[in-house]
């Protein structure tokens, strides 16, 4: 008789950066429940979104493959149905699967129905839409029906209630479950959250980060309030696991798809290689296996999450996965150094956005495609034209001193360039101009630089 495998509950926020949770100790964000969960979990302090954009990250999360390997070089490109997902892997191991919330892997029709079958990448229970950030009136679809429904109230709260209902139905099942709960906040629009959360913060009193000359306090006000709202939803999930007797048998992971610059280094939103954009929270709780309150500073990439969860659950990792199973490091079975994380932005897409990479005066005239690496200590990045950034994140945690032109750092830059090239070689990355990827993946853009369509069948484009 075999031992029943643990449940997996993966909770995903949208645009929540690693520094904007209370336990990080960097910003005055009220997250008592996440702080308590951090004390029960392994905290990975260098969790990285390697391509800090929604669709590329989400494809990497559920396949363990880089955005470039998937052809997801921009938002609103559908994930090919030939890929092997987290849901496929655990289904083979006897799991029930479910997905609730934001998907954003089915093309450019945003609040859209994702039809049953291959486009859902193996997830059985379904209560989701491609995505909708109208949090107080957002659309979703339940089961196989194409009839649009509206989440009651603020959507993440209703989504959390449905996740608890799902776990309640499965508590006595002989089969373990793998459930992904994908929240939309704290992504803009920021100040749609209930007034009692906004009242917790005084926007005029929000301090500036050391690398942020002009903090957008009105945005941060809503961003922090939404994060506290999500903190309360996490409290409900943890309480439900306890009440249902599932806490000890459930791997609980919490993370986000990317961060938000919020004015640090004078720039906004995502896509940038600085920590406010690429670093995300990552908590992993598994009582009896993972020591609570342990902190690991080695890098974890989005492509490592799928194999690490599978490793924790003792489920075979598909051969297609490009990430690393870090579960032996988290369990304390290995203490050598995991590899560096490859950073990439193959196709900057902010044409027409006054706060995006292509439009920032300091970077106009530069090709903003970049590759880089994030290690325990260093960040290195180069544009398609030249080396660009080098930081010692231990000595300079706000990344305010770029060492790329420092003579004494030339050897370090060469070493990190070598690590970057080795990681690129593993996936066949030739670091081409973005226009080459548009042609390669059959991407057609509109006048705003957003995906208008995929010229050929997107599910055949990767061969």
Residues with catalytic roles: 54, 104
8-state DSSP, 207: P
* Alpha carbon distance 455, 60 (integer Å): 23
* Alpha carbon distance 136, 195 (integer Å): 13
Q: What's phi and psi for 369, nearest 5 deg?
A: -60, 135
CB contact set of 333 (below 8 Å; sequence gap of 6+): none
3-class DSSP state for residue 99?
strand
* Alpha carbon distance 190, 48 (integer Å): 23
* Beta-strand relationship, 96-102 and 125-129: parallel
Element (H, E) at 424: helix 410-426
Cα 109 from chain centre: 21
Q: What's phi and psi for 139, nearest 5 deg?
A: -90, 145
CB contact set of 238 (below 8 Å; sequence gap of 6+): 33, 37, 247, 252
Alpha helices per DSSP H over 130-206? 155-170, 195-198
* Alpha carbon distance 37, 43 (integer Å): 9
Question: Degrees (nearest 5) of the Cα angle 85, 133, 146?
Answer: 60
Q: For residue 378, give both structure tokens.
A: 């260093």
Question: Degrees (nearest 5) of the Cα angle 375, 378, 380?
Answer: 95
Cis peptide preceding 189, ω within 30 of 0: yes
* Alpha carbon distance 121, 123 (integer Å): 6
């Amino acid at each position: 008789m075999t031992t029943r495998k643990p449940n997996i509950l993966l909770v995903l926020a949208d645009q929540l950066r690693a520094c904007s949770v209370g336990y990080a100790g960097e910003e005055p964000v009220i997250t008592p429940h996440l702080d308590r969960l951090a004390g029960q979990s392994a905290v990975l302090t260098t969790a990285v979104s390697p391509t800090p954009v929604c669709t590329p990250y989400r494809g990497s999360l559920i396949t363990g493959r880089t955005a470039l390997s998937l052809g997801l070089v921009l938002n609103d490109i559908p994930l090919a149905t030939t890929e092997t997902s987290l849901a496929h892997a655990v289904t083979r191991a006897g799991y029930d699967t479910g997905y609730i919330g934001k998907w954003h892997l089915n093309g450019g029709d945003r609040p859209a129905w994702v039809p049953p079958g291959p486009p859902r990448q193996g997830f059985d229970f379904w209560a989701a839409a491609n995505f909708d950030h109208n949090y107080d009136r957002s659309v979703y679809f339940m089961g196989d029906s194409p009839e649009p429904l509206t989440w009651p109230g603020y959507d993440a709260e209703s989504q959390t209630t449905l996740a608890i209902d799902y776990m309640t139905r499965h508590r006595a099942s002989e089969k373990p479950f793998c459930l992904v709960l994908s929240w939309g906040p704290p992504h803009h629009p920021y100040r749609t959250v209930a007034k009692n959360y906004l009242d917790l913060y005084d926007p005029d009193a929000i301090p500036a980060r050391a690398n942020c000359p002009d903090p957008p306090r009105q945005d941060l006000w809503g961003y922090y309030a939404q994060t506290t709202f999500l903190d309360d939803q996490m409290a409900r999930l943890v309480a439900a696991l306890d009440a249902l007797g599932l806490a000890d048998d459930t791997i609980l992971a919490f993370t986000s798809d990317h961060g938000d610059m919020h004015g640090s280094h004078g720039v906004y939103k995502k896509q940038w290689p600085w920590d406010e954009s690429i670093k995300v929270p990552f908590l992993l709780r598994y009582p009896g296996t993972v020591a609570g309150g342990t902190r690991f500073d080695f890098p974890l990439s989005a492509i490592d999450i799928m194999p690490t969860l599978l490793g924790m659950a003792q489920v075979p990792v598909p051969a297609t996965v490009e990430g690393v199973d870090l579960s032996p490091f988290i369990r304390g079975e290995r203490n050598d150094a995991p590899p560096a994380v490859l950073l990439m932005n193959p196709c900057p897409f902010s044409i027409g956005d006054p706060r995006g990479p292509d439009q920032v005066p300091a970077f106009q005239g530069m090709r903003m495609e970049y590759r880089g690496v994030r290690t325990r200590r260093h960040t290195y990045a180069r544009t398609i034209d030249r080396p660009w950034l080098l930081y010692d994140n231990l000595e300079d945690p706000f990344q305010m001193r770029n060492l790329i032109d420092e003579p004494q750092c030339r050897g370090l830059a060469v070493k990190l360039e070598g690590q970057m090239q080795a990681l690129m070689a593993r996936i066949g990355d030739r670091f081409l101009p973005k226009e080459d990827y548009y042609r390669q993946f059959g991407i057609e853009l509109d006048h705003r630089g957003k995906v208008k369509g995929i010229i050929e069948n997107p599910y055949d484009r990767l061969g």
